[in-house]
Amino acid sequence: LEFDAKSYPVTSWSTPDGIVAPYAFITEAFCIIAETSARIGITNVLCNMLRVLMIHTPADLLPAVWLCSNAIAAPYKGIELGIGPLILSKSITSVAGTNGKTLKTLYEKYGDWGDVAFSAKVSVRTLLQPKPLTVRGVYSTLKSIANLKGQGTIDAKAALVKKLVLAARGEEVRFLVRTFVSHLRIGAVRTTVLSALAKACTLDISPFCSVEDGDSLAAQFYRQPYDDKATITMKMKRAESLMRECYAQHPNLDDIVPAILQGLSHLKEHCPLTVGVPLRPMLGKITRDLSEVFVKLEGRSFACEYKYDGQRAQIHLDKQGKAKIFSRHLEDMTDKYPDVVAILPQICKSENQSFIIDAEIVAIDNNGNIQPFSTLSNRARKNVAIEDITINVCILAFDIMLLNDEPVLWESFRNRRQLLRDHFTPIKDRYDLVKSMDTVASQENQDGAPETTSELKAPNVANSVEYQDEVSEFFKQSIKDGCEGIMVKVLDHASGYSGNQLDPITANKTEMKQTRVNQLLASYEPDKRMESWLKVKKDYVEGVSDSLDLVPIGAWWGNGRKVGWYSPILLACYNPENETYESVCKCISGFSDKFYKDMLEFYSVENGRVLDAPRHDYITDHRPDVWFQSCEVWEIKGADITVSPIHKGAIGHIDEARGLSLRFPRFIRKRDDKDVEDATCSETLAEMYTKQTNLHGSSNTEANTG
């Protein structure tokens, strides 16, 4: 383990307030991590750092975990730092005694605010050195910064930022400033932090404390100091799987970290699926076309549902009637839908019913006809007053995760859907179930799955393999009715299945994945893209690959009619492994003139969305005239995906030196419901390329730049 926690003189951390971890302790770990590329190495360093805090200063564990996570609160809390380039340059110039011009030159050189601040401050000598920063001090100041509202906020924020930067020493400056812009650059993505935390709870603590401390704390932290290697490995796997499962159902570190300080065994009990806390949504796997569905789901009964083109909404109602609506990205959007909130008590069949349901909210016209997503996107995002609503919406429910405070995630989809039918009342043009049809696997293929009861059978019942025409008709009708295509969902658990049988301890990652694919459980799997949910979009049927969700990272200045506008625009996919943006295409079509004009306002130097230089994490051989801050996701459709000498999408997946690019890209719409980290990831892009290559029997190589 590269990070030798023993060498940290914890005794020198004593203060009048007890033992307090210095901020330098975690930045030291960050420095080592920044030099480490292997995920396992990064996890180990983080794990060791967290172990020391767990033992010596447990009060610093939560602040440290947040500081490793590029966030200060769960997304649904809506707490954001709001530190932009203006505040940063004000504070850095003032601390370093430099000017904006020098800062600009430094930014052009480094493309990273942390490096800029480090370089600007490195030679500054302070006569009176402020007290060293502490982990909890930095975190609480960040929270104070986020809480500042109203007039004078910029100056007040700048003053606090300046105070922190002034007190920061050496490498602390670099990581502090990276934290301000929520980009630590240490490759410690969410899953890594969770794994490190889980391992830290499991490992023997004796190297870090005296035997007596070790014994008492070992009991407290659910550890056996004398476990052999195999037992430790098994416990670590169990802990990681438990941590992921809990986080997927209750993604708030403010609850998780205090719970694990009481022992991992308390985690589930303290962080259950809770009304008011959004769980991470289950997601569907892309398919090439309907034939792939039939191959994958042969012998299984499945439901086909319209895939509506609206906004995903996780709707919560507690027993007291308090409602919350969360986006796909777990942001609180209750304020956007007061009309949805108002209808919820009316859809419940019983008094004091509590629930969490998954639904698509779609815009409808006065006749109840479904409107395209663009209509819905005209609704204001915040503080919508019910009397001002001009765009009406209908809730189309497709799943339920909790009913009357009882989680129902492990019920089969057929049972969950039945709960929706039994406990909720449709209200015309306001609330209904998604339109669906069921297929029934023939008995010999059914493999023991429960028989469908007659009342569950849709009029259009088809055998999943033999009656493909019905499914195909349903699919075509979904497109005619203005949907994106269909979702295909396995109805019943695989044969012999009764509850959560997977053993995360004995199975390795690949085995687990494989088991799930083979068993095709019909449970609701938070935070997973599952084969038991397949999506078939109209794009596939048109013979074109799925659309991609890409991030604009730069643009050239347009010519001819487009002089003065951004055109073309350079778009990238996201690589979560390296936290980089890899360019995929230059897009010139699908935009309206208004869109171009709005873009000039959206991407401007003044609002900090135009950068002086490419960011260190933009991977491309292109050199656009203007670089953008990565801040939004656009849905883009193209003809096909090719191997490219210039673009870097999914580089290393298909070809060591070359990336993938999308040919003839066309803008479809903005995906406001997706964060930049939800953009199409490199792995998915590579999968799409492979699927397309399998389909056409040969690979394409782009002759020139796309």
Contact between 551 and 628 under an 8 Å Cβ cutoff? The reply is no
Site map 279..318 versus ligand ATP, x via CB under 6 A: ----xx--------------------xxxx---x------
* Least gap, CB of 409 to ligand ATP (angstroms): 15
Q: Which is nearer to ligand ATP, 259 or 434 (CB)?
A: 434
* Least gap, CB of 479 to ligand ATP (angstroms): 13
* Least gap, CB of 592 to ligand ATP (angstroms): 22
Contact between 662 and 636 under an 8 Å Cβ cutoff? The reply is yes
E-only strand ranges, 384-480: 392-403, 406-407, 431-433, 436-438
Let me know the angle formed at the C-alpha of 184 by 180 and 189, rounded to the nearest 5 degrees.
125
Alpha-carbon distance 606 to 599, whole Å?
A: 13
* Least gap, CB of 607 to ligand ATP (angstroms): 27
Told to check if 434 binds ligand ATP by CB under 6 A, we report yes
Alpha helix locations (H) across 182-316?
190-202, 211-220, 229-249, 253-261, 267-270, 290-296
Q: Which is nearer to ligand ATP, 183 or 535 (CB)?
A: 535
* Least gap, CB of 649 to ligand ATP (angstroms): 17
Q: Which is nearer to ligand ATP, 243 or 679 (CB)?
A: 679
Element holding 554 (H helix, E strand)? strand 548-557
**Paired tokens of 606:** 């003044």
Contact between 334 and 323 under an 8 Å Cβ cutoff? The reply is yes
Alpha-carbon distance 100 to 90, whole Å?
A: 8
Question: Which neighbouring-strand residues pair with 37?
Answer: none
User: Where in 447-506 is the site for ligand ATP (CB under 6 A)?
Assistant: 487
User: Where in 371-430 is the site for ligand ATP (CB under 6 A)?
Assistant: 398
Alpha-carbon distance 256 to 242, whole Å?
A: 11
Q: Quick one: which of 250, 328, 615, 658 contacts ligand ATP (CB under 6 A)?
A: 328
Q: Which is nearer to ligand ATP, 270 or 669 (CB)?
A: 669
Element holding 96 (H helix, E strand)? helix 85-96
Q: Which is nearer to ligand ATP, 93 or 377 (CB)?
A: 377
> How many Å is the Cα radius of gyration of the chain?
27
- Diameter of the chain measured on Cα atoms: 84
Q: How far apart are the first and last CA of the chain?
A: 44
Q: Which is nearer to ligand ATP, 281 or 614 (CB)?
A: 281
Alpha-carbon distance 529 to 672, whole Å?
A: 20
* Least gap, CB of 677 to ligand ATP (angstroms): 12
Please say whether the dihedral angle defined by the alpha carbons of residues 476, 478, 483 and 487, taken in this order, is positive or negative: negative
CB-closest chain residue to ligand ATP: 312
Q: Quick one: which of 190, 379, 535, 637 contacts ligand ATP (CB under 6 A)?
A: 535
Q: How does strand 392-403 pair with strand 355-364? A: antiparallel
Q: Which is nearer to ligand ATP, 434 or 686 (CB)?
A: 434
Number of residues that bind ligand ATP (CB under 6 A): 13
Site map 85..124 versus ligand ATP, x via CB under 6 A: ----------------------------------------
Q: Which is nearer to ligand ATP, 85 or 526 (CB)?
A: 526
Residue 497's contacts (CB-CB under 8 Å, 6 or more residues apart) are 519, 521
674 labelled catalytic = no
Alpha-carbon distance 374 to 177, whole Å?
A: 38
Contact between 569 and 636 under an 8 Å Cβ cutoff? The reply is no
Catalytic position from the list 307, 537, 586, 637: 307
Looking at this protein, which amino acid is placed at residue 503?
A: D
* Least gap, CB of 70 to ligand ATP (angstroms): 21
Told to check if 66 binds ligand ATP by CB under 6 A, we report no
Contact between 571 and 636 under an 8 Å Cβ cutoff? The reply is yes
What distance lies between CA 580 and its chain's CA centroid?
Answer: 15
Q: Find tokens 């609330």 and name the residue.
A: 431
Q: Which is nearer to ligand ATP, 207 or 284 (CB)?
A: 284
Residue 61, classified by CB atoms within 10 Å of its CB into exposed (0-12), middle (13-18) or buried (19+), is: buried
Q: Which is nearer to ligand ATP, 172 or 635 (CB)?
A: 635
User: Where in 342-361 is the site for ligand ATP (CB under 6 A)?
Assistant: 360
Q: Binding residues for ligand ATP, per CB under 6 A?
A: 283-284, 305-308, 312, 328, 360, 398, 434, 487, 535
Catalytic residue positions, numbered: 307
